[in-house]
Amino acid sequence: MSTAPRVLVVDDEPNIVDLLRMALRFHGFDVLTATTGRAALELAVAARPDLMILDVMLPDIDGFEICRRLRADGHPVPVVYLSARNAHRDKIAGLTYGGDDYVTKPFAVDELLARVRAVLRRTSPPPAEPAPAPPSPLRFADVELDPDAHLVRRAGEPIDLSPTEFSLLRYFLTNPNRVLSRTQILDAVWSYDYGGESTIVDQYVSYLRRKLGRHGPSLIHTQRGFGYVLRLPVAGSNR
C-alpha cells in the first residue's frame, strides 16, 4: 500500500490541473483531481486526502465555501488556496474559513510545492515511535488539549480548531507564561521555510483568541513590542 501523501487538486483550468498533476507525481505525491466544487466535496469525504490544493473561483461552488463546508462537517484536511484573487481581504477570508495557506496566480511550481510540504509538515501527525508512553493532555487554566485525540476543550466545552490553530495552541500550551516573539511562533508553527507574510501569526492568534474567548476570559495576551504570552488574566487588563 502506498504511503505517499495524497493531494487533491481542484481547479477548473485543465492546463493547471495537468501541470500540478505531473509536478506532484514527479515529486512523489499521490494525486487526485477535480474540476468542480461538488466533485471536490465528494472526493474530500470519500478519499480522505492529506491535503487539498483548492482554486477559489470554481464554476459551481467557490473555494471559500468548500472549505467552510468541510470545516463545518468536521473534516480537517489542510487546504492551500490557489487563486487569481490577490487582494488582502481575499487572503484574510480564505484563512478565516479554515485555510492553511494562500498562493496567488500566476505561481511558481517550486514555491507551491514548498508551501505544500510546509503545510503537510505542520499538520501531519509525527511518525510513530516504538513504545513511548502516551502523551498526557496539555492543560493551562481551564483549557485542555489532547494531542492523541486531537481534541480541545475549555471549561469542559469542545472547541473546533483548524489544524494550524491546533498547532498554534499546542505551542502556547507547551510554553506557558513565556513571552513568545512572532518569529519564534512562525518558526515553530509554520516552519523555517514558510514564504508567507509574518502577519499570519497575528491573524491566527486573533482567530484562536476568539474561539477560546467564547468560553472564558482571554488567556493569550499581547506583550507590546515583544509578541504574545499565555498566562492568566491580570486584574484590570483586557489584553
Whether residues 204 and 163 share a domain: the answer is yes
Measured between alpha carbons, how far is 179 from 143 in angstroms, rounded to an integer?
19
Is residue 49 predicted with pLDDT exceeding 90? yes
Q: Tell me whether residue 239 is in a domain.
A: no
Q: Tell me whether residue 128 is in a domain.
A: no
Instruction: Give pLDDT, residue 1.
Output: 41
What CATH number corresponds to the domain at position 68? 3.40.50.2300
DSSP 222: E
Domain that holds residue 169: 138-230
Average pLDDT, the chain: 88
Is residue 32 predicted with pLDDT exceeding 80? yes
Measured between alpha carbons, how far is 192 from 1 in angstroms, rounded to an integer?
31
Burial of 76 (0-12, 13-18, 19+ CB in 10 A): middle
- Residue-wise pLDDT for 209-237, tens only, equals 999 999 999 999 998 888 999 999 876 55
Q: Tell me whether residue 104 is in a domain.
A: yes
- Return the closest-CA partner of residue 175 out of 229, 232, 233, 239: 229
Instruction: Give pLDDT, residue 195.
Output: 55
Domain count of the fold of the chain: 2
Whether residues 71 and 154 share a domain: the answer is no
Q: Tell me whether residue 133 is in a domain.
A: no
Instruction: Give pLDDT, residue 167.
Output: 93
Q: Tell me whether residue 188 is in a domain.
A: yes
What CATH number corresponds to the domain at position 223? 1.10.10.10
Instruction: Give pLDDT, residue 135.
Output: 65
Give the torsion through C-alpha atoms of 157, 209, 183, 235, to 10 deg: -110
Measured between alpha carbons, how far is 152 from 219 in angstroms, rounded to an integer?
15
- Residue-wise pLDDT for 138-190, tens only, equals 999 999 999 888 899 999 999 999 989 999 999 999 999 999 998 889 888 88
Whether residues 86 and 159 share a domain: the answer is no
Q: Residues 171-196, buried b or exposed e (16+ Cβ, 10 A)?
A: ebbeeeeeebebebbbebbbeeebee
Whether residues 16 and 108 share a domain: the answer is yes
Whether residues 101 and 165 share a domain: the answer is no
Lowest-pLDDT range of 62-66, 82-86, 116-120: 82-86
Measured between alpha carbons, how far is 69 from 120 in angstroms, rounded to an integer?
21
Q: pLDDT class for 70, splitting at 50, 70, 90?
A: very high
- The mean per-residue pLDDT over the stretch 102-113 comes to 92
Is residue 18 predicted with pLDDT exceeding 90? yes
Whether residues 100 and 193 share a domain: the answer is no
Whether residues 79 and 176 share a domain: the answer is no
Is residue 42 predicted with pLDDT exceeding 90? yes
Among 123, 149, 164, residue at a domain's last position: 123
Q: Tell me whether residue 132 is in a domain.
A: no
Whether residues 144 and 75 share a domain: the answer is no
Among 71, 93, 123, residue at a domain's last position: 123
Among 100, 123, 146, residue at a domain's last position: 123
Instruction: Give pLDDT, residue 46.
Output: 92
